[in-house]
Structure 1
Amino acid sequence: MANYKISYKALTDLFKECESLLTKNINIDGNDKRELLEKLTFIRNNLTGISTLENALLYRLIFEEAPVGIVQYNSEGVITTCNYRFIRIIGSSAEKLIGLNMLNLPDQDVVKAVKKSLNGKTGLYEGNYKSVTAEKTTPLRAKFTPIGSGINNNQGGIGIVEDVTENFLALAALSESRSRYQTLFENNHSILLIIDPVTGFIFDANPAAESFYGWNRETLRNMSINEIDTNPYNEVKSSIKNFASSPENYSQAIHRLSDGTTRQVEIAGGEINFVKRNLVYLIVHDISERVQMQESLRKFELGLDRSSHPVFITDIEGKIQYINAAFEDLYGFSKKEAIGKKPSILKSEKQSDEFYKDFWETILSGKVSSGEIINKTKNGDLVTVIYSSNPIINEHGKIIGFIAIHDDITERIKMEEAIRQSLYEKEIMLAEIHHRVKNNLALVSAMMVLQAENSDNNELKGKLHDSANRIKAISNIHEHLYSTSNFASIDFIDNTFKLIENILSTLQTDTEITIEKRSGSVFININQGVYCSLIINEVVTNIVKHAMRGSRKGTIGIKAKEKDGIVIVVISDDGHPLPEEFQSENFSSLGMELIHILARQLDGTFGYNSINGETHFTLSFKKADNPKKKFSSGK
Structure 2
Amino acid sequence: MVEYISIDQKALGSKSTILLSLNRSADRRLIKKNISGDFRVIDSLDTSLSSSGFDLCITDLQSFQSNRKELTELKNEALPVYLPIILLVEDTRILKNHQAVWDLVDDVIEIPVPMKMLEMRVKNQLRSRMHSLQIARQNEKLHILEKAVNSTNVGITITDANKKDQPIVFVNDGFTKLTGYTREEIIGKNCRFLQEDDRDQDVLKDMRDYIKNGKKGRSILRNYKKDGTPFWNELSIAPIKDKHHEVSHFIGVQNDVTKLIETQEALKDERDLQQLVTENSTDMISRHSLDGTYLYVTPSSEQLLGYTPEELVGNNAFDFFHPDDFELVDEAHKVLYENPGNNETVTVAYRKKTKSGEYKWVETVSRASLNPEDNTIVEIQSNTRDISTRKKHEQELEYAVHEKNVLLQEIHHRVKNNLAVISGLLQIQQFETEDEALNKILGNSVSRIKSMALIHEKLYRSKSLSHLEFDDYLKDLISTISRSQTHNNNFEIQIESDKTILNVNQGVPCALILNEIISNAIEHAFVGREHGTIWVSLKENGDRITISIKDDGIGIPDGLLEKRRQSMGLTIIQTLIKQLHSKLEVIVDNGTKFSFSFEKQNIKGAHSRFV
Tell me how many residue pairs correspond in the alignment. 482
CA, structure 1 residues 409+509, in 2 after alignment: closer, same or farther (shift >3 Å)?
farther
CA distance in 2: counterparts of 1:421 and 1:483, whole angstroms: 20
CA, structure 1 residues 487+633, in 2 after alignment: closer, same or farther (shift >3 Å)?
closer
Conserved in 1, the CA contact under 8 Å of 2:318 and 2:326? no
Is 1:435 the counterpart of 2:416 in the alignment? Answer: no
**Residue matched to 2:383:** 406
Conserved in 2, the CA contact under 8 Å of 1:229 and 1:255? yes
CA, structure 1 residues 498+403, in 2 after alignment: closer, same or farther (shift >3 Å)?
closer
Amino acid at match of 1:515: I
- Stretch moving more, 210-219 or 513-522: 210-219
CA distance in 1: counterparts of 2:607 and 2:338, whole angstroms: 60
CA, structure 1 residues 266+489, in 2 after alignment: closer, same or farther (shift >3 Å)?
same
Q: CA deviation at 1:340?
A: 6.7
CA distance in 2: counterparts of 1:562 and 1:260, whole angstroms: 76
CA, structure 1 residues 595+268, in 2 after alignment: closer, same or farther (shift >3 Å)?
same
CA distance in 2: counterparts of 1:316 and 1:256, whole angstroms: 51
Conserved in 1, the CA contact under 8 Å of 2:490 and 2:532? yes
Conserved in 1, the CA contact under 8 Å of 2:285 and 2:298? yes
Conserved in 1, the CA contact under 8 Å of 2:366 and 2:380? no
CA distance in 1: counterparts of 2:380 and 2:330, whole angstroms: 21
Q: CA deviation at 1:558?
A: 1.6
Q: CA deviation at 1:447?
A: 1.8
Conserved in 1, the CA contact under 8 Å of 2:368 and 2:378? no
**Residue matched to 1:267:** 235
CA, structure 1 residues 304+250, in 2 after alignment: closer, same or farther (shift >3 Å)?
same
Matches within 5 A, 1:152-551: 191-195=155-159, 198-199=164-165, 201-206=167-172, 208-210=174-176, 212-213=178-179, 220-221=186-187, 224-230=190-196, 232-233=198-199, 240-246=207-213, 247=215, 250-257=218-225, 261-269=229-237, 272=240, 279-305=249-275, 306-307=277-278, 308=281, 309-312=283-286, 322-326=296-300, 330=304, 334-337=308-311, 349-350=326-327, 359-360=336-337, 362-363=339-340, 366-373=341-348, 379=355, 381=359, 383-391=362-370, 393=372, 401-402=378-379, 404-408=381-385, 410-411=387-388, 412=390, 415-416=393-394, 418-551=396-529
Is 1:630 the counterpart of 2:607 in the alignment? Answer: yes
CA distance in 2: counterparts of 1:509 and 1:389, whole angstroms: 74
1:500-520: CA deviation from partner (whole Å, max 9, x where unpaired): 322222231332433222231
CA distance in 2: counterparts of 1:430 and 1:477, whole angstroms: 13
SS state at 2:327 partner: coil
Conserved in 2, the CA contact under 8 Å of 1:572 and 1:617? yes
CA distance in 2: counterparts of 1:457 and 1:154, whole angstroms: 169
CA, structure 1 residues 555+357, in 2 after alignment: closer, same or farther (shift >3 Å)?
closer
Q: CA deviation at 1:443?
A: 1.6
Q: CA deviation at 1:562?
A: 5.2
Q: CA deviation at 1:311?
A: 3.8
1:115-172: CA deviation from partner (whole Å, max 9, x where unpaired): xxxxxxxxxxxxxxxxxxxxxxxxxxxxxxxxxxx97669999x9xxxxxxxx9xx99
1:94-134: CA deviation from partner (whole Å, max 9, x where unpaired): xxxxxxxx97564789xx99xxxxxxxxxxxxxxxxxxxxx
Q: CA deviation at 1:196?
A: 5.7
1:301-347: CA deviation from partner (whole Å, max 9, x where unpaired): 23432144544457999987654444665566645456677877777
Q: CA deviation at 1:622?
A: 5.2
Conserved in 2, the CA contact under 8 Å of 1:388 and 1:406? no
Amino acid at match of 2:370: P
CA, structure 1 residues 378+272, in 2 after alignment: closer, same or farther (shift >3 Å)?
farther
- Stretch moving more, 617-626 or 371-380: 371-380
CA distance in 2: counterparts of 1:331 and 1:268, whole angstroms: 52
Conserved in 1, the CA contact under 8 Å of 2:336 and 2:367? no
Conserved in 2, the CA contact under 8 Å of 1:510 and 1:552? no
Q: CA deviation at 1:445?
A: 0.7
1:584-606: CA deviation from partner (whole Å, max 9, x where unpaired): 54453222233333334334332
CA, structure 1 residues 477+355, in 2 after alignment: closer, same or farther (shift >3 Å)?
closer
Conserved in 1, the CA contact under 8 Å of 2:495 and 2:535? yes
Q: CA deviation at 1:225?
A: 2.7
In structure 2, runs of 5+ residues without a counterpart are 1-33, 42-54, 57-110, 121-130
Conserved in 2, the CA contact under 8 Å of 1:511 and 1:552? no
Q: CA deviation at 1:401?
A: 4.9
SS state at 1:605 partner: coil
Q: CA deviation at 1:615?
A: 1.1
Conserved in 2, the CA contact under 8 Å of 1:249 and 1:269? yes
CA distance in 1: counterparts of 2:521 and 2:434, whole angstroms: 25
SS state at 2:584 partner: strand
CA distance in 2: counterparts of 1:447 and 1:155, whole angstroms: 159
SS state at 1:486 partner: coil
Conserved in 2, the CA contact under 8 Å of 1:477 and 1:530? yes
Conserved in 1, the CA contact under 8 Å of 2:333 and 2:346? no
Amino acid at match of 1:269: I
Conserved in 2, the CA contact under 8 Å of 1:371 and 1:388? yes
Cα root mean square deviation, aligned:
5.0
CA, structure 1 residues 538+414, in 2 after alignment: closer, same or farther (shift >3 Å)?
same
CA, structure 1 residues 618+367, in 2 after alignment: closer, same or farther (shift >3 Å)?
closer
CA distance in 2: counterparts of 1:451 and 1:533, whole angstroms: 25
CA distance in 1: counterparts of 2:467 and 2:401, whole angstroms: 17
| TM value normalised by structure 1 | 0.61
Is 1:614 the counterpart of 2:591 in the alignment? Answer: yes
**Residue matched to 2:87:** none
CA distance in 2: counterparts of 1:345 and 1:192, whole angstroms: 61
1:283-303: CA deviation from partner (whole Å, max 9, x where unpaired): 434332332332233233234
CA, structure 1 residues 253+457, in 2 after alignment: closer, same or farther (shift >3 Å)?
same
Q: CA deviation at 1:210?
A: 4.6
Amino acid at match of 1:293: T
CA, structure 1 residues 324+282, in 2 after alignment: closer, same or farther (shift >3 Å)?
farther
Q: CA deviation at 1:499?
A: 2.1
Conserved in 1, the CA contact under 8 Å of 2:470 and 2:501? yes
SS state at 1:632 partner: coil
- Stretch moving more, 322-331 or 292-301: 322-331
1:16-35: CA deviation from partner (whole Å, max 9, x where unpaired): xxxxxxxxxxxxxxxxxxxx
